[in-house]
Structures are given as structure tokens and as C-alpha cells.
Amino acid sequence: MFKVNEDYLKLPGSYLFSTVGKKFRAYQADHPEKKVISLGIGDVTQPLTPSTISALHSAVDEMGKAETFHGYAPDLGYDFLRNAMAEEYKGRGCDIAADEIFISDGAKSDSGNIQEIFGRDNVIAVCDPVYPVYVDSNVMAGRTGTYDETTGTWSDVIYMPCTEENGFVPQLPERVPDIIYLCSPNNPTGAALKKADLARWVDYANENHAVIIFDAAYEAYITEEDVPHSIFEIPGARTCAIELRSFSKNAGYTGLRLGATVIPKDLASADGHSLHPLWARRHGTKYNGAPYIVQRAGASVYTPQGQQEIRDLVGIYQKNAAYILNGLKEGGYTVYGGINAPYIWMKTTNGMTSWEFFDYLLENAQVVGTPGSGFGPSGEHYFRLTAFGTYENTVEAVERIRRLG
């Protein structure tokens, strides 16, 4: 008599972005005449750049001929891509070897799966608010205790509130966690940890034998000098940090799927178990590599031409971010983020809850965003807008919101 994983049943409601999508589609179905603009889910809208398109076509041609056909990829990724990423680390002054980089189908899978190599009794700490996958995947693994509907928190999770008061910078928690999730630049607040902030975290993790899972998915949006693009720019990170990398937001690969996880060989638990071979074992057992054609595309991003193209691509979204940030500010709204990130973190008006504000914007401005409370209790009364729309839609969305004000 089989039994289901009861930890799955503890998850309240459905995945945030599925709910947003459902509400969006329901409204559109009821009001087919209205043009709804989505600045909700963090999906990009610009096409893939010429280097990627051309790399894909070439790789597809290779797959059509016996002499150049590629079957199963090496478990951990093709050397041509791992080497290209290792070179980038070198250029940033980070000591990361190619064989410490595990190629994957994206940061969502990796950030959901990485908890698996840790014991069930580890205590996690998360920024509040933050990308929901960190908490949800730990709920599914039975690591989070019980859910309190009133506070929207789990009994065994350490929340690090990121609020207006602390400039959205997570503070060292009183209770020491075993696993610390940091996302910088942060999704959803758009706040980024400065070098000194991150160094404090690295020291703290090393002192306490904690591990930091550092999600660097938005590093391409950093514009300020003293904000590190990688945690491995910080001395000491090799013994305490895992880094998650994504091609989704820099190269626009949300529909192509490519990412990587970096685990230094120096990283081990206090009782001497290295994490690198455990993650390699997970890849070897439960994963069969990212498609050859996609890995070839990923490598094209690291050519000089590819680098220029993604700078231009990111530039388009950065322009949108600045437009939203400044436009809403001028309109009298309280807004944060947008400088080192493609996300604008907006305070709701008239004391509305995040979901009330979601409905309000959808009904009155036909603009879809993401309710801040979906990212954690401290996200209540906030709202996330993304810079990933087209410029025209972004401008129109800002105007529509300003008209409400």
C-alpha cells in the first residue's frame, strides 16, 4: 500500500507564479478587449542574440551527420563550456577550476535540487522575501517543520527579514543556520550585497561551518562597483560557498534552459565530507546533461561577440528598469531595486496587501506584477515589477500606474 510524500501536502496553495499566471489568464479571458501588460513572471521578451542563434544552427547541423553527431553529454557538462566559464571566473579574480563547474538545465532545477545532498536535519536560513523555490524545495524534503498560516512562516526555517529599515540587506541571524541561501542581486527586492556585506557572511559561514548557497542569477545587472558578481570574489568563499549560475537573464535563455552550479573541492562538512563528489553523484544518477546544442550556444556567449551581444541585451532591460524606477518615483510611489537588478520593489498604496494590490492593478491598469507576500512574510505590502517587458509595454505600464496615483 503506497503512501505519498506527506511533506508535499504541507505546501500551502500552488506555486506563486502558477497562481499569478492563472489569475492573468482568467482576467484576459473575461476581458478579451483589454490589453494586459505583464511585468509579472520574470520572463524575458527579447529574442536570442545572433551568436546564440548561429551556434544553435551549427550544432543542429552537427547532430544531423553521423561523423559529428553527439549522444549522451558528459555527466557534468562539456569541457568547452566549463572551460569558458572557468576563464570568466579567472578574469574576475576567482579561483575556480573547470571541473568545479557542473553544467545543468538551469538555476531553478539546481536551486531546487541542491538541498538533496544535505542531511534532513539541517536548518536553513533564507532572506525574507526571496525566490520561493529555496523554501518550497526544503518543505518537500521535510526540513522546515510546521507552517503557521497567520505569520506565513515555517517553524524550522530561519527568516532574515530584508526591509526598508535595514536597506533590504539580510542581517546575521541570532540562531545559527546550517545552510544559508543568499540571492544577490536579490529576487524580488533588487537589493545587492556589497563586498563588505558579503565578506561578513563568508566569515560567519566559515566560523560556524555553515554553507552558503549563493544564487548569482542576476549578476549581469550589477552596475555598482563594490557589488561582487560572484561570491568567489570574497576570500574564504571556497570553503563555505556554492554558487548558482544562470543563462536565463543575461543571455535570455529562459526557454533554452542552461545553468551551472559551482562547488569548490575545498568545501566539506565539519566531519570531513566533501560536497563536490556528492553533487557529481547526483548528476551521474539523476541527470543526463544539458543538450549538446544548448551547451554549444552557451559557449558562444563567452566569445567577444557573444559578450558584446549580452551586454546590449542586458542594457535593454536595464533601461526598462531605470524607466520603471524613476517613472514610479516621479509619480510619487515608493520604489526600490532596479539599479543592480531587473526587479523593482514597489510599496503598495493605501495599505493594500500585496494580493489586493495585484487585483487592483490588474483591474484598473491591466498591469500584472507579482505580489510581494508570495516571496515571504516581509514581502507583504510590496509588489514586484520586472524590467523584462518590451520598452513600449514598460512605458505604457508605468503611465497606466501613474494615472492611478
Binders of a copy of itself among 62-81, rule CB under 8 A?
Answer: 63-66, 69-73, 75
Measure the CA–CA gap between 44 and 245, rounded to whole angstroms.
17
Read off the DSSP letter of residue 71: -
Stretch that binds a copy of itself, among 53-61, 156-164, 190-198, 332-340 (CB under 8 A): 53-61
Handedness of CA 371, 377, 382, 384 (dihedral sign): negative
Contacts of 64 (CB under 8 A, 6+ apart): none
Q: Does 173 help bind a copy of itself (rule: CB under 8 A)? A: no
Q: Does 96 help bind a copy of itself (rule: CB under 8 A)? A: no
Binding residues among 239-298 for a copy of itself as defined by CB under 8 A: 252, 254-257, 269-271, 273, 275, 278, 281-282, 284-294
**Near a copy of itself by CB under 8 A: residue from 106, 188, 372, 389:** 106
Stretch that binds a copy of itself, among 114-122, 192-200, 373-381, 393-401 (CB under 8 A): 114-122
Measure the CA–CA gap between 176 and 183, rounded to whole angstroms.
18
- Is 182 within 8 Å of 337 (Cβ atoms)? no
72-75: long-range contacts at Cβ-Cβ below 8 A with a sequence spacing of 24 or more?
A: 72/288, 72/289, 73/103, 73/288, 73/289, 73/290, 73/291, 73/292, 73/295, 74/289, 75/280, 75/283, 75/284, 75/287, 75/288, 75/289
Cβ neighbourhood burial of 259 (10 Å; 0-12, 13-18, 19+)? buried
Q: Does 179 help bind a copy of itself (rule: CB under 8 A)? A: yes
User: Is the CB of 162 or the CB of 213 nearer to a copy of itself?
Assistant: 213
Q: Which of 257, 274, 255 lies closest to 100 in space, CA to CA?
A: 274
Q: How far is the CB of 277 from a copy of itself (least distance, A)?
A: 9
Measure the CA–CA gap between 164 and 194, rounded to whole angstroms.
17
Q: Does 29 help bind a copy of itself (rule: CB under 8 A)? A: no
User: Is the CB of 25 or the CB of 34 nearer to a copy of itself?
Assistant: 25
Q: How far is the CB of 351 from a copy of itself (least distance, A)?
A: 31
Task: Count other Cβ atoms within 10 Å, centred on residue 37.
Answer: 23
Measure the CA–CA gap between 366 and 393, rounded to whole angstroms.
11
Q: Distance of CA 12 to CAs 9, 164, 181, 210, 377, Å?
A: 8, 27, 21, 28, 14
User: Is the CB of 106 or the CB of 170 nearer to a copy of itself?
Assistant: 106
Q: Does 315 help bind a copy of itself (rule: CB under 8 A)? A: no
Stretch that binds a copy of itself, among 13-21, 230-238, 299-307, 374-382 (CB under 8 A): 13-21
Binding residues for a copy of itself, total number by CB under 8 A: 84
User: Is the CB of 223 or the CB of 393 nearer to a copy of itself?
Assistant: 393
- Is 343 within 8 Å of 130 (Cβ atoms)? no
| Per-residue contact string for residues 369-398; x = within reach of a copy of itself by CB under 8 A | ---------------------x--------
Stretch that binds a copy of itself, among 50-58, 157-165, 347-355, 371-379 (CB under 8 A): 50-58
- In DSSP terms, which residues pair with 336 in a beta bridge? 345
Q: How far is the CB of 238 from a copy of itself (least distance, A)?
A: 15
Q: How far is the CB of 236 from a copy of itself (least distance, A)?
A: 16
Q: How far is the CB of 318 from a copy of itself (least distance, A)?
A: 18
Q: Does 120 help bind a copy of itself (rule: CB under 8 A)? A: yes
Q: How far is the CB of 250 from a copy of itself (least distance, A)?
A: 14
Give the side-chain half-sphere CA count within 13 A for 284. 6
**Near a copy of itself by CB under 8 A: residue from 28, 83, 122, 349:** 122
Q: How far is the CB of 262 from a copy of itself (least distance, A)?
A: 17
